[in-house]
Chains A and B, each alone.
Chain A
């Protein structure tokens, strides 16, 4: 047992203050950093390292690649290269294109594989080996929640990438974690009025729901916001994640008496279930004297590409879309398009914005210490980043901003022009009390 007790972790070393002799027992790459006192991985040289943890393999690899492109663009802009992108439209002018706090921004990358274990291993490498002060990215809520709690335990800031489940800033919220992306609650609140206008009151709804936390959360919020105007749930069927062929779940819809299908699926599941539902002729049907309709609560342009023609005319919600006309969005689309030759996805947008927001907060705080950066983000009101005036709410570290309701375009002009913005739901309409979803932030961890 003595063996297990000999070398202590940095944290214990600093805590006990009796570091002298024991440091010899740990390898040199480690001790060099163990002495930076204030907080974990405090950058001592002239660079500061950020960790970009995105899916590079698996179903979301393309989304991850787009996130990485956005991060690299953000780093360029922060270091004063390129055209500056949204730095020029951002309401806060703290950043001057000369790095952050006088340090040049460097980054490390890793593969989450969209698996909690792999994502945490990758984030740990960035923290333990590469000295990252902040971890960001990801394309699924399970991974976001897993990495967020890791960052809380380790003592670095986590800026969530694409994660749409309520839990990320709801019951699993953490002080060190921040989310710019919207959630199922906001999707429901934004989508419901549009659905009511388009499809009328009093419909019979059939839910196909991916059988995991995000799916349930999405199903719940659609029900919550559509029931008041008489959309009644006929059945809510859980489908296994990654089922591929959904035919056995689609056939029972035909005789269920439902006139509306809500697909609480994301990514590949959405692509498959939607295109198969359309093949089954659901959209040509007429039930209860009404045309049968399909709704996909969470859209992504990348995945819309995968569903092809099936997406046309279908309502959904999205965090951001490149066709927005405000100055911030246009600046971002321009600089991203010139760099890579195609417009950015919503995943790219949220990641770019998160990187900028972190850098700005660190600049305003004058340090990278998680508690100070967090304090600078809490209650921060900003504009010019593509979603209108936005608030980083202090109580749950969730951004509140306008939500886009979109519809699959009937006549796309290019392979990227698949969604049209139907309505920009104002922020006031999607706000909810911070204690509604439960959860507790706890206190900041600076890792020392």
Chain B
């Protein structure tokens, strides 16, 4: 029982992450009709916003200690972080909270990236075949990735969660169950709440604002909205920028869970496409539902009891579920007719 509960919690957490990553992609799919292979790269850029912010505030003042030498003969360098030297306690605090604080950096950066990408590149591809969209966004993803590699190297760069939420919580004990049976890292729970918050925010934005209404109308029938004299183009730019921010924030907050490297976006790319398509093209609720469904099933499929019966099931569960769902429901969970069907 405890085991199942724990695995369910973990599935929810994974699902939250999947849903959040897929959310931006499905926005772009649904509204702009663009197959964006650079979406993983946006996630990666977000993660590296956190890395850069951390690097920036932990920049170290280097003083040389001439009395000591390193193993290879050069004088020993003594390093003290500037932030600590200049701001004292506040400096220490900000280093501690560098991951959540870097959201403040990530939002403008990702808005800018999204804006430039859409205006400079994606805009010209709305009426081009999907094949061209794939090639150009894939090319862009490689370029972004290689730039990051040239700056930060190929090794993963660990980021730590703030002290207050670094360890794990004994949820079992809190619920009055056996202590130590259901233990879950604080940061992952923070991530789940964060994901839920962002998802709710995007939904509310599309549901309750005039802007959102126009975008939803544009998703349903772009031509008619254009005929009504609404400048749908400009709104699409904003949608793209929002999607970039969502992807970027997902990346920022994921860094304490998975030390980011330049390839992290590609690793998530295929998965996010599967989630979006299983959810159904053009459906935001579908993508979220698919994210949670796949996360929970993956978590349960990895249990030893299940693996003993079906060896290797944990390796293919996501794809297997995708196949079954697409065969049972032609347009995924909640897809609309005619979106990306030809």
Contacts and interface: CB of A to CB of B under 8 A. Distances in A.
- Interface bin, chain A: 35 or more
Contact of A306 (B13, B188, B259, B307): B259
Contacts of A280: 168, 183-185
A378 to B, nearest CB: 34
Interface string B159-202: 01100001110000000000011111101100000000000000
B66 interface: no
B7 interface: yes
A334 B149 contact: no
Contacts of B301: 248
Interface string B37-71: 00000000000000000000000000000000011
A279 B188 contact: yes
B10 A247 contact: yes
A327 B332 CA distance: 66
A305 B149 CA distance: 16
B2 A252 contact: no
Interface string A77-88: 000000000000
A285 B268 CA distance: 32
A240 to B, nearest CB: 5
B84 to A, nearest CB: 17
Contacts of B153: 61-62
Contact of B185 (A279, A309, A343): A279
Contact of B10 (A59, A211, A251, A306): A251
Interface string B1-37: 0110011001101100100000000000000000000
A392 to B, nearest CB: 28
Interface string B314-326: 1100000000000
A322 B73 CA distance: 13
B213 interface: no
B70 A337 contact: yes
A307 B315 CA distance: 24
A255 B6 contact: yes
Interface of B: 2-3, 6-7, 10-11, 13-14, 17, 70-74, 149, 153-158, 160-161, 166-168, 180-185, 187-188, 256-259, 261, 263, 267-268, 298-299, 301-304, 307, 314-315
Interface of A: 58-62, 65, 211, 235, 237-238, 240, 242, 244-245, 247-249, 251-252, 254-255, 268, 271-272, 275-276, 279-281, 284-285, 302-303, 305-310, 322-323, 330, 333-338, 341, 343
15 contacts: A59-B261, A62-B153, A62-B155, A248-B298, A248-B302, A248-B303, A272-B156, A279-B187, A281-B185, A284-B168, A305-B155, A310-B158, A338-B72, A338-B74, A343-B72
